[in-house]
Amino acid sequence: MVLHSVLSVLSSHDVEVAETLIGVLNFLLIFVAARTLAELLVRLHLPTIVGELLAGVLIGASGLHLLVPPSAHVQLNEGLVSLISALASIPPEAVPDLYYETFPSLQAVATLGLYALLFLTGLESELEELVAVGVQAFTVAMAGVVLPFALGTFGLMALFQVELIPAIFAGASMTATSIGITASVFGELGYLKTREGQIVIGAAVLDDILGIVILAVVVALATGGSLEIAPIVKLVAAATVFVVLAIALSRTAAPAFDWVIDRLKAPGAVVVASFVILVFCCFVATAIGLEAALGAFAAGLILSSSKNNRAIQQSVLPIVTLFATIFFVLVGAGMDLSVINPLDPASRSALVVAGFLLVVAIVGKIAAGWAFWIDKPTNRLVVGLGMMPRGEVGLIFLGLGTSAGLLSPSLEAAVLLMVIGTTFLAPLLLRLVLRDKPPGGGNVIPDDVAANPVGLV
């Protein structure tokens, strides 16, 4: 109502100028902050993704409030409001409403970056190796889902007297693995095409599928709907068929794609045709009830056998470098670290529960690294650490729980801290574990030792 009353006295030109200024300033803040911290962390031999997440924290809801997602529920920086108000000649009270109205456009660009990153991850996946470690990836995924879910749910109920539904929801929030963050870290460390990297990527994809199923179950429980087996079985079957079909199409569709590319003459044919496949796979995944992110990864798998694979990677990499940076900065910007203030009595109970969830989240995923059998030398700690970050997936669960009113303030804060902790610790611990090893540590897939990383450097 406030927005409409204020905008009614403004000209469309003033509104357009304000929206343009907001959009440009957001991009400027994101890239300057992200690249500054990325350059710093490169010199400290740390993955640049940590710098991008820290950049989001610095300018986001926990820091300067210059980049504030609507879900953060904090006030926009007054200096930024005054600047936009003065430049666009609009009342200061109109700026926040315009800011939050235009924010979905920024989130859409960030989502494109995530999809491009997952597409590139699929392109760089050695399909033969991914299939070869399929059993191990499945075992790791199952252990990485069951252990945190069971320990988290029953631990909250037994130790903290949390009710069943909130406990299940918090436990479910620890099941998924952020394939975007994991892929970026492994790519940056030159570990994506190792045996460990392929196991983790495969397990992360399966985690995403299992996470979708768990999310469907939790939503059914939370909304009081009947928990029917048939829709769940249908969802699992759809996800299984989708992934298997993508692997099968890499043998047949990639040659057809190459045939089309060979006959296209207009500039940019490779990247445009590739994105057509990407968008189509995202559409199909969404249409059958799966996550579009899974479709993006599947699109990369389909084209991984293309003879134009290297050209596609070179075309997509600049898009990833730009837009995935926005995605990771927004993940950091949405984190509100004020909930960990030990001086605030209201935060202490959240800190205790958060400590419990963080330990369970870490131990559960690391233990999954020992939950498979293989007759080849494999760094199981790397597998476990690669499964650790919850990232945007955990934030999606948290957002759903908050909107549904399922979580108490302390439990909501605890889940947020678990997501923050695993998201930041995983890249740091992986770098620590791998710092004295060459890329792959001797487990690199022979066909492509010097793989082009997915890193955002």
State residue 417's pLDDT score.
Answer: 82
- In this predicted structure, the answer to whether residue 313 has a pLDDT above a threshold of 60 is yes
State residue 235's pLDDT score.
Answer: 72
N- to C-terminal Cα separation, the chain:
44
Range with lowest mean pLDDT among 55-59, 95-99, 186-190, 308-312: 186-190
What CA–CA distances, in Å, run from 188 to 56, 184, 435, 456? 19, 6, 12, 7
How does residue 436 score in pLDDT terms, banded at 50, 70 and 90? low
- In this predicted structure, the answer to whether residue 16 has a pLDDT above a threshold of 80 is yes
- Please state which CATH number belongs to domain 107-448: 1.20.1530.20
Which among 121, 225, 190, 238 is positioned nearest to 450, based on CA atoms?
A: 190
Question: Mean pLDDT, to the nearest integer, of 439-457?
Answer: 40
| CA atoms of 34 and 52, how far apart (whole Å) | 5
| CA atoms of 241 and 363, how far apart (whole Å) | 31
State residue 136's pLDDT score.
Answer: 85
State residue 430's pLDDT score.
Answer: 85
State residue 356's pLDDT score.
Answer: 94
Find out whether 231 and 280 touch, Cβ atoms under 8 Å: no
Domain-wise residue ranges, the chain: 2-106, 107-448
Question: Mean pLDDT, to the nearest integer, of 142-170?
Answer: 90
How does residue 151 score in pLDDT terms, banded at 50, 70 and 90? very high
Cβ within 8 Å of residue 308, ≥6 positions away:
257, 258, 261, 270
Question: Mean pLDDT, to the nearest integer, of 296-310?
Answer: 88
Q: Which residue has the higher pLDDT, 289 or 255?
A: 255
Range with lowest mean pLDDT among 16-25, 360-369, 407-416: 407-416
State residue 443's pLDDT score.
Answer: 53
Range with lowest mean pLDDT among 71-85, 169-183, 223-237, 336-350: 223-237
- In this predicted structure, the answer to whether residue 451 has a pLDDT above a threshold of 70 is no
Q: Which residue has the higher pLDDT, 310 or 427?
A: 310
State residue 455's pLDDT score.
Answer: 35
Question: Mean pLDDT, to the nearest integer, of 73-92?
Answer: 88
- In this predicted structure, the answer to whether residue 262 has a pLDDT above a threshold of 80 is yes
State residue 399's pLDDT score.
Answer: 63
How does residue 456 score in pLDDT terms, banded at 50, 70 and 90? very low
% of the chain with per-residue pLDDT over 70: 82
Cβ within 8 Å of residue 288, ≥6 positions away:
238, 242
DSSP string, 236-289: HHHHHHHHHHHHHHHHHHHHHHHHHHHH--STTHHHHHHHHHHHHHHHHHHHTT
| CA atoms of 145 and 417, how far apart (whole Å) | 19
State residue 449's pLDDT score.
Answer: 33
How does residue 441 score in pLDDT terms, banded at 50, 70 and 90? very low
How does residue 265 score in pLDDT terms, banded at 50, 70 and 90? confident
- In this predicted structure, the answer to whether residue 156 has a pLDDT above a threshold of 90 is yes
Q: Mean pLDDT of all residues in the chain?
A: 80
- In this predicted structure, the answer to whether residue 366 has a pLDDT above a threshold of 90 is yes
Range with lowest mean pLDDT among 140-144, 202-206, 213-217, 291-295: 213-217
Phi/psi class of residue 121: alpha, beta or left (left: φ > 0; alpha: ψ in -120 to 50)?
alpha
- In this predicted structure, the answer to whether residue 223 has a pLDDT above a threshold of 50 is yes
Cβ within 8 Å of residue 448, ≥6 positions away:
126, 193
State residue 365's pLDDT score.
Answer: 92
Phi/psi class of residue 442: alpha, beta or left (left: φ > 0; alpha: ψ in -120 to 50)?
left
- Dihedral sign, CA of 383, 209, 291, 74? negative
- In this predicted structure, the answer to whether residue 3 has a pLDDT above a threshold of 70 is no
Joined together, the tokens standing for residue 151 give: 């320990």
Joined together, the tokens standing for residue 336 give: 């509100």
- In this predicted structure, the answer to whether residue 448 has a pLDDT above a threshold of 60 is no
What CA–CA distances, in Å, run from 47 to 96, 123, 300? 34, 21, 23
State residue 13's pLDDT score.
Answer: 77
Range with lowest mean pLDDT among 3-7, 429-433, 453-457: 453-457
| CA atoms of 170 and 153, how far apart (whole Å) | 7
